[in-house]
């Protein structure tokens, strides 16, 4: 399916050690958009922000304290011709992702950033998950992990 969505990444240059993450993040976003199963047009912007900026976004828009790993906003509307007008802003905090990936047995920072990008785009596309302990078994997380595996696998084939 053709997906006419422009993807814009910004802010990753602030984390030079994660520069190689850009291509797999883009693959993950494209895969998430393709998984929508319907024609799309519009734009998805993904900004990498530091913990201070993320905490401010979290406080201002979600009335929550402190930084979080990902926040997504769906600003689009259905198109009159049956093509969804997608306008999404996704914010990912590498500081939080790197800290989470440092836990024993955790994913590496690059994998976690790709996971968070996919997660944010799935939210923009209307997917949601419960906030309790069952969130890891819900349809959204199964789709996210499937897309993540495909995004990372595609990168392995390119090297």
Say what the pTM is.
Answer: 0.89
Q: DSSP strand E in 27-127: where?
A: 40-48, 70-74, 77-78, 84-92
- Strand 70-74 with 84-92, pairing: antiparallel
Query: If DSSP codes are grouped into helix, strand and coil, which group holds residue 97?
Result: helix
CB atoms within 10 A of CB 68: 18
Fold of 3-158: Collagenase (Catalytic Domain) (3.40.390)
Q: What is the pLDDT along the chain (159 residues), one digit of tens a residue?
A: 445 899 999 999 999 999 899 999 999 999 999 998 777 889 999 999 999 999 999 999 999 999 999 999 998 876 677 677 889 999 999 999 988 888 787 788 999 999 999 999 999 999 988 777 776 778 999 999 999 999 998 765 554
How is the chain split into domains, by residue range?
3-158
* ∠ CA 139-145-149, rounded to 5°: 145
Rounded Cα distance between 137 and 141, Å, is 7
CB atoms within 10 A of CB 132: 6
| pLDDT per position as a tens digit, 78-89 | 667 767 788 999
């Amino acid at each position: 399916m053709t997906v006419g969505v422009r993807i814009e990444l910004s802010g990753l240059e602030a984390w030079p050690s994660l520069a190689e993450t850009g291509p797999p993040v883009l693959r993950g976003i494209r895969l998430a958009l393709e998984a929508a199963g319907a024609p799309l047009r519009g734009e998805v912007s993904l900004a990498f922000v530091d913990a201070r900026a993320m905490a401010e976004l979290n406080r201002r828009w979600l009335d929550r304290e402190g930084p979080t790993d990902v926040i997504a906003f769906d600003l689009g509307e259905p198109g009159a011709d049956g093509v969804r007008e997608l306008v999404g802003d996704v914010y990912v905090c590498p500081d939080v992702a790197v800290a989470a990936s440092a836990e024993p047995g955790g994913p590496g920072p690059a994998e976690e950033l790709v996971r968070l990008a996919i997660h944010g785009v799935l939210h923009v596309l209307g997917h949601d998950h419960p906030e309790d302990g069952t969130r890891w078994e819900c349809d959204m997380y199964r789709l996210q992990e499937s897309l993540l595996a495909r995004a990372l696998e595609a990168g392995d084939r390119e090297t």
